[in-house]
Structure 1
């Protein structure tokens, strides 16, 4: 079984996405064949949309990526699957990296010394977890926006280039 076949087996089907209670209201629009077609542009755009929302939005990533994929005529299963770029294992490194990038871009200082090493010390009694996250403020938002846009564009370019390379290599092997 090739890598592409294994990936297609793991990506949610049209029926699975249509049965999702969050997406049931989109049923009539999800019947468009272009949203399910495996083309270079559609898959690359779907992955880019999914990565963008997976990195930028901490909640409701899948409904937002499906909505954007429908508007952009991108591949819906690719958009849904690529939102998993942020998951419980990658969430902390992504947000810490985005925060550090935001500090570097905005030139702001870390709001609280303990925020330099998130999670290594107990949360102080005076600051709740939500207060600490809110204290990250502008550097985190700026870093997440930059990261989401750049990774979305990068994923689109990589998928397009790999797809094109594979197509050209298949054509060359057939002509030989």
Structure 2
């Protein structure tokens, strides 16, 4: 059940191999384990993808691929899960990361207004940056752990139901 559900949403592996941004990995992309979907590769891919979805860098897909390849987890799933943070979901997710970071550091939340400029970015790295980056790392780690546990549980439950239905 879980495998069929996940496979329905996965992009075609030939399309992923053609991505220009992933060409830096060359022949590493030809490892069959990166494209195979089983319990181990799915839960690992969820962990990798969800962790990097919370990391505020513009090249999240490349980082997810760079970690998924040596861990030999499902590459398409890792890359697809990074897109949980998209232009619509980034503001609330990153704001929650900032709030978590201020809570952990014990700092009061600061009011800030976003401006798309290098000056604002450099100024905000010293004021809200530490709390935001810490919160992003913590939220990413929690999301990775929850994703790992949830996929493992759902996968086992699906296998048990399949075995019971065969009896």
TM-score, scaled to structure 2: 0.89
Aligned mates of 2:73, 2:120 — CA distance in 1: 37
Larger RCO (CA within 8 A; separation ≥ 6): 2
Aligned 8 A contact 1:18 1:27 in 2: no
Matched, 1:133 2:124: yes
DSSP-derived class of the 1:85 partner:
coil
- The answer to which of 57-66 and 72-81 deviates more is 57-66
Q: Which moved more, 1:155-164 or 1:128-137?
A: 128-137
Q: How does 1:4-153 map to 2 (within 5 A)?
A: 5=4, 7-110=6-109, 112=110, 114-115=111-112, 128-131=119-122, 133-134=124-125, 135-153=127-145
Structure 2 gaps of 5+ residues are none
Structure 1 contact 95–144 (Cα < 8 Å) conserved: yes
CA contact (8 A) 1:51 1:148 kept: yes
Alpha-carbon distance in 2 for matches of 1:106, 1:167:
43
Give the Cα–Cα distance (whole angstroms) in 2 for the partners of residues 100 and 128 of structure 1: 23
Alpha-carbon deviation of 1:6? 6.4
Alignment partners' CA distance in 2, 1:33 and 1:139:
40
Looking at structure 1, the residues matched to 5 and 147 of structure 2 have their Cα atoms a distance apart, in angstroms, of 19
What TM-score, normalized to structure 1?
0.84
Unaligned segments of structure 1, at least 5 residues: none
> Based on CA coordinates, which of the two structures has the bigger radius of gyration?
1
Q: How many residues align?
A: 164
Alpha-carbon distance between aligned partners in 2 of 1:168 and 1:58, rounded to the nearest angstrom = 40
Task: Tell me, in whole angstroms, the C-alpha distance in 2 between the residues paired with 1:46 and 1:6.
Answer: 15
Q: How far does residue 141 in structure 1 lie from its aligned partner after superposition? A: 1.1
Name the Cα RMSD after superposition. 2.1
Match of 2:161 in 1: 169
Q: Where does structure 1 differ by over 6 angstroms across 4 or more consecutive aligned residues?
A: none
For the residues of structure 2 that align with 1:48 and 1:41, how far apart are their CA atoms? Answer: 11
